[in-house]
Every structure is written in C-alpha cells, then in structure tokens.
Amino acid sequence: MPDATTEQPGIDVGRYWTVLVSRWQTVVAGVILGLLIAGSYLLIVPTTYVAVTTLSVLPITSDPYAANRNNNNLLDMNAEATTARSFKVAELAAKSGADQWNPIELRDSTEVAAGTGSSTMTISVTADSEEKARSGAGAMADAYIKTRSDQVKLSIDNAMQKDQERISSLRQSLNAALKRLASAKPGSPAAAEASADQQIISLQLSALFTRARSLEGVDSTAGVILNPASVTQITRKPARITMLATGLAAGLLLGIIAAFVTHSRRKAIHSANDLRREFDIETLGAMDDDSAPRNAASVAQRLLRSASRDGARAVSLVFDSHIAGYTALTDRIVAELQAAGSTVVTADPSLAGGALSNEGAGLVIIPVAPDASTAARLQALRLSDASVLVVRPGATRMRDLAVVVGDAAEMGSHIIGAALVTHRPGRYASAEEAAPNRAEDTAGTPA
C-alpha cells in the first residue's frame, strides 16, 4: 500500500470546495456573526451627519483681473484654514446663522481642508442631525468670508485715516512754504529754500493721493461659495451599507477560516476524494442505510470485479463505528452479489476456529460489526484475502480509518475499495449509540 506521507499530490481545488460545502453551517454561522456584530455596532454607535461647503478664497488686491496675477502666490492657505476654524469665526457663525450651535461646540465640530496648490477650501461640520450639520457648515462658510472681508475693510479704513491725517499735515506745510516763497525776494536763499520745500511736499502729497486711489480700488470680496451646504450631499457615519458589507465580508472570511480549521481538527472523511487523497483507496459506490439499502448493486459489481482481479476468495466488510444497521447492509450486498451470478456465503470468523472453508462458494463475505473488538477485527482481516471499508461521509474519522488501514496491512488483507453509506435520519440509532470509538476495543484499550 503506498505511504501517504511520502506522496505529495498536487493542489485539488475541488477538495477545498468539498470542505466548504460540508461545513456550510460554519460558513453561514460566520456570516451571521459578522452581520450581527456590524448591526450591533450600528445600534450602539450614534449616527452622525457631515455637511460640506466648498468655497474659493480670493486674494486681496487692487487689480483682481491682472493677467499676470497668480492667486497661489498671494494666498497662504494654511493660515486661511486656521482662520476659518477659529473661535472668532465660530462665534460669528453661532450668532448669525447657526442658532442650534454654541461657538465652542461649532468650532470643535468643524474641519477645514485647504490645498497648498489651489485656492479652494472645504469646510466640513459634523452634527447629530442633517439639518444641524447643514446649518453649521453654511454658517461657518459665511462667517469666514465676512470675517475676512471685514478685516480687509478695517485695514483699508485705518490706512486711509492715517493717510488723510498725513495729507492734512502736508497741506498745511505746503501753504506755509508757498507763503514763504511769496514773501521772499526772488533769487534769495530764502526763496530757494521755500521753493525746494514746496516741491518736496508736492511729491509727498502726490504719493499719498496715489496710494489713496489704490486703497479705494482694493476688492474686499474675500471669497465665493462654490457649493453651499444646502445642496451638497450629506455623509452619514457610520455608513450603514458599508458597515453591513464589511461585516458580511469579515463574517464570510471568518466562516471560511473556521470551516477549514474545524475540518482539519476533526479530520473526518467527507467524500470519495478524501479516501483517494489520504489513503489511496478507491470508492466502490454509495448506499443508503435504510431497512432496504438502495444502490447496493453498483457496490456489489465493483466488489466482484476487484476481488476477481486480485484473486481474492474471502473478503471482509469492515464497518465503521458510525454505521448503524450493518446487518441489513451486509445482507443487501450479499443478495446483490448472488444476483450477479456469484456463489456467496457469509462467515463469522469467531466461529471458524481460526480458518475458513470456501468449498462450494465462489466468494466468502466476512462482516466485521461496528462494535467488534480489535481482536475480532484483526482475526477477520487475517482470514480474508481482501477487505472493503464501509464508511459514513462526514462521520468516519481519518484517525479511526488509519487504524483499520494499518491493521489490514499488518494482517495481509489488501483493501480493494470503500463503500460510502449515507445516513437516513430516524432509521437507526445515532452514531454515538451505535458503537464505541473505532480506535479503541471494547475494553477501552487503544488499538
């Protein structure tokens, strides 16, 4: 018999699919658990709403339409973002358009994003209701623009006031210089001095007048709202669909992992592929374990072919401890063998005196009961030329099957195949009541 530990078969994708199908309850339980956790999170964590306002920050300049103007060089967006999230702006917003907010709460609920390579700014406000979030975002944007515009106007007014005071003073100085020039003798040093003062004062006044005209032309429009909070989409946190989808995906992954882990820990036979992969044993067929087992004909035909090929005259049927109603199964297989034209008898090795006689019989069938002791099983295998393993998919454990395979090799009984028995609930006792662990004999001694 090939040593399964020395062979390295290729990856069989169908095996993994078989594992998932056989453990579908574990996979479904993982999905349900993931959805329950996601749903619980949605119920426990309070729902918040995020409203967004997008605005364009305009540079303060006297010529807003200059062809060579670069807004990025005229604006410090980091400083503008700090201003937009300041307490001063939040206080103005709370007073003017956000009655549901207090300044500190509004400032703490506001996030401002400003790109260094552009003049756009995004103001986001988080609240416990959609209406409150929209009102906060809109009020913060309006308050920021108004605060910035007011600062510009205040700076211009202060500069204009100082310039007006300076102009008044220079005009008085100019009048005094003109009077001195008029009273001085032409060509005298006093006349020259008065003329020089007149020219200097006139130049200073001209510069102040030019500056005043420049200040009067400054555009105090601080910014323009591009997307008001009233029309932008509200973001809900946590997002229900995203959270449920995440829970579904995480639960599915958990269920798949758990399916493979439990499968590897239990090590049960689930399909013919498991028998072929783990023990290099071919499957003769599958039967039902009701009172009149069905589909036994195919098992009988393949058993006859394999026994004839190997020259076996005595074949033992080794029933796994999870098989109930093994007598009906044995009788059905024997009946199908006889119907195929073979002379078949059954034998009890415990009554054979250590030897079997198959005179007048083409084939001797030796059934090994599910609750047979280790000694009885070894005796049946020793007296048989070949053996057939009768297993239940999903219940027969690889550990127990490995014991039988080892016993058969030790006793010189070649395993010609396995028969799969599908359980039909309600027909017989449960697997736990049918027989003890295959790896232990009736006295509880390990095989």
At residue 10, the 3 state secondary structure works out as coil
Q: Positive or negative CA dihedral for 70, 74, 78, 82?
A: negative
* pLDDT score recorded for residue 29: 92
- b/e code 382-406 from CB counts within 10 Å (16+ = b): bbbbbbbbbbbbbbbbbebbbbbbe
Q: Please choose, from the candidates 107, 104, 98, 89, the residue with its C-alpha nearest in 3D space to the C-alpha of residue 144.
A: 89
* pLDDT score recorded for residue 12: 57
- Cα distance between residue 439 and residue 425, in whole Å: 25
- H/E segment holding residue 335: helix 326-339
Contacts of 283 (CB under 8 A, 6+ apart): 272, 275, 276, 417, 418, 419, 420
DSSP state at residue 222:
-
- H/E segment holding residue 278: helix 272-279
Q: Which residue has the tokens 């005796």?
A: 379
- Cα distance between residue 158 and residue 151, in whole Å: 11
Q: Which residue has the tokens 């579904």?
A: 248
- Cα distance between residue 17 and residue 167, in whole Å: 93
Tokens of 39: 């749903």
- Cα distance between residue 406 and residue 415, in whole Å: 10
Residues 35 and 251 sit within 8 Å (Cβ to Cβ)? yes
* pLDDT score recorded for residue 70: 55
Which stretches of 45-185 are DSSP H helices?
71-74, 77-84, 87-96, 103-108, 130-183
Residues 323 and 289 sit within 8 Å (Cβ to Cβ)? yes
Domains of the chain: 17-45+239-266 (no CATH), 48-232 (3.30.1890), 268-434 (3.40.50.300)
Residues 420 and 393 sit within 8 Å (Cβ to Cβ)? yes
* pLDDT score recorded for residue 424: 62
Residues 432 and 404 sit within 8 Å (Cβ to Cβ)? no
> Mean pLDDT in each 10-residue stretch from start to end of the chain (447 residues)?
42 69 86 92 87 87 54 74 90 81 90 82 90 90 89 82 87 86 83 87 87 74 85 85 91 90 73 83 83 73 89 91 85 87 79 54 86 90 92 87 91 92 57 39 38
* pLDDT score recorded for residue 445: 37
* pLDDT score recorded for residue 69: 57
Residues 60 and 215 sit within 8 Å (Cβ to Cβ)? no
Please give the model's pTM, rounded to 2 decimal places: 0.49
Please calculate the CA angle 305-287-446 and round it to the nearest 5 degrees. Answer: 90
- H/E segment holding residue 55: strand 48-57
- H/E segment holding residue 380: helix 374-383
* pLDDT score recorded for residue 406: 92
